[in-house]
A = this chain, B = another copy of it.
Amino acid sequence: MHEEAIMDVAHLGHLELMTPKTDESLAFFRDVLGMTESGRVGNSVYLRGWDDYERYSLKLTAADAPSLGHAAFRARSPQALARRVEALKRSGAGVGWVENELGHGPAYQFHDPDGHLIEIYYETEWYEPPPDLRPALKNQAQRFPARGVNVRRLDHFNCLAADVKANREFFQKTLGFRLTEQIVLDSGIEAGMWLTCTNKSYDFAYTLEAHGVRGRFHHITYALDSREEVLRAADIFLENGVPIETGPHKHAVQQTFFLYVFEPGGHRVEVANAGARLVLAPDWKPIVWTEAERLKGQAWGLKTIESFHTHGTPPLPGERSP
């Protein structure tokens, strides 16, 4: 691929999550996760971690059922945005431009092969904290909230896809993402892929949808500064009656120290820490995990919980909420 493509996407910018329980979801993200409300338009509320440099990293929108509204990536430059839009148009995936969204400039929307709505934009609004949220150190986006879990910044998201390989190739070819790890079953079917456009070892992941539906969402992840903070988050979730799905434990894949819970709207939410792990090699050789290795469970032996393979949003017809 042309060198430029590899660098044209700068980072994951934000997610829009649809929720049927707006007040409860907002309370979860603001009071339990410790996020800050930084905007409100129509039936959407915008939220941010204290280290997100843009105005927000989460748009929470009222809806009948939980689902991914869209995911958004920021391009590296206006030229990079133009190049990627051109490539997206050529690919046939393009939907069109969206303007007048709070906090960022024109965004070009498209569908990945599984049908998730994604967008890419360049112009953005840097967060300007109000006086009571100004940080003591000027190299920090916002004052540390000292409330709840205190999530630092959006880290990654995970979607389900019926054809992981097709989605992987789409993101690699049209957007220049790099594959760092993947799971390939004995049948040759790809069961998971982790892609990055930064030095983080992944900015998003797609794992296998086993239920013949399309466009489902698996989880959103916020970064914490240490494994100890993930453990403390577990204490806080317990105190707040937040259903913990699994963790804290360490994934073998990507070695992320994870904790998965369900927010009131039904979405799976992860808080995680990767220590000082980065992928610095420009020619990183993707790690391929086999079916047998996947069956071994997580890094320290925890068996992967069944719901992790089946629950997504929107839930399947008749599926019970967690």
Chain B contacts of A107 at CB under 8 A?
Answer: none
- Shortest A251–chain B CB gap in Å is 10
**Cα distance A16–B142 in the bound complex, in angstroms:** 36
User: Across the two chains, which residue of chain B brings its CB closest to A247?
Assistant: B300
- Shortest A203–chain B CB gap in Å is 9
Which residue among A7, A75, A80, A199 has the maximum number of chain B CB atoms within 10 Å of its CB? A199
In the complex where A199-B200, A228-B226, A301-B244 touch, is A140 in contact with B255 (Cβ < 8 A)?
yes
Chain B contacts of A255 at CB under 8 A?
Answer: 137, 139-140
A213 interfacial by beta-carbon distance below 8 Å: no
A309 interfacial by beta-carbon distance below 8 Å: no
User: Across the two chains, which residue of chain B brings its CB closest to A11?
Assistant: B280
Which residue among A146, A237, A276 has the maximum number of chain B CB atoms within 10 Å of its CB? A276
**Cα distance A56–B226 in the bound complex, in angstroms:** 27
| Contact of B278 with A199 in the complex, beta carbons under 8 Å | yes
| Contact of B223 with A226 in the complex, beta carbons under 8 Å | no
The 8 Å CB contact of A273, one of B74, B276, B282, B300, is B276
User: Across the two chains, which residue of chain B brings its CB closest to A75?
Assistant: B282
One complex includes copies of this chain to the number of 4
Chain B contacts of A274 at CB under 8 A?
Answer: 276
A89 interfacial by beta-carbon distance below 8 Å: no
In the complex where A135-B239, A140-B255, A181-B139 touch, is A275 in contact with B146 (Cβ < 8 A)?
no
| Contact of A79 with B3 in the complex, beta carbons under 8 Å | yes
**Cα distance A281–B257 in the bound complex, in angstroms:** 25
User: Across the two chains, which residue of chain B brings its CB closest to A148?
Assistant: B146
Interface residues of A in 103-125 (CB under 8 A from B): none
**Cα distance A135–B241 in the bound complex, in angstroms:** 10
**Cα distance A255–B76 in the bound complex, in angstroms:** 25
User: Across the two chains, which residue of chain B brings its CB closest to A123?
Assistant: B283
| Contact of B152 with A280 in the complex, beta carbons under 8 Å | no
The 8 Å CB contact of A10, one of B239, B245, B281, is B281
| Contact of A77 with B136 in the complex, beta carbons under 8 Å | no
- Shortest A86–chain B CB gap in Å is 16
Chain B contacts of A146 at CB under 8 A?
Answer: 34, 147-149, 236, 239
| Contact of B254 with A234 in the complex, beta carbons under 8 Å | no
- Shortest A221–chain B CB gap in Å is 11
- Shortest A226–chain B CB gap in Å is 5
Chain B contacts of A143 at CB under 8 A?
Answer: 239
A93 interfacial by beta-carbon distance below 8 Å: no
Identify 14 residue pairs between A and B in the complex whose beta-carbon atoms are under 8 Å apart, listed by A's number: A3-B7, A10-B281, A75-B282, A144-B235, A146-B148, A152-B275, A198-B280, A227-B227, A227-B228, A234-B300, A235-B250, A238-B300, A247-B300, A274-B276
**Partner-B contacts on A (CB < 8 A):** 3-4, 7, 10-11, 34, 51, 53-54, 74-77, 79-80, 126, 135-140, 143-144, 146-149, 152-153, 155, 181, 198-200, 223-229, 231, 234-239, 241, 244-250, 252-255, 257, 273-278, 280-283, 285, 287, 289, 293, 299-302
Given A3-B4, A248-B249, 4 more A-B residue pairs with CB atoms under 8 Å apart are A11-B199, A11-B280, A74-B282, A225-B277
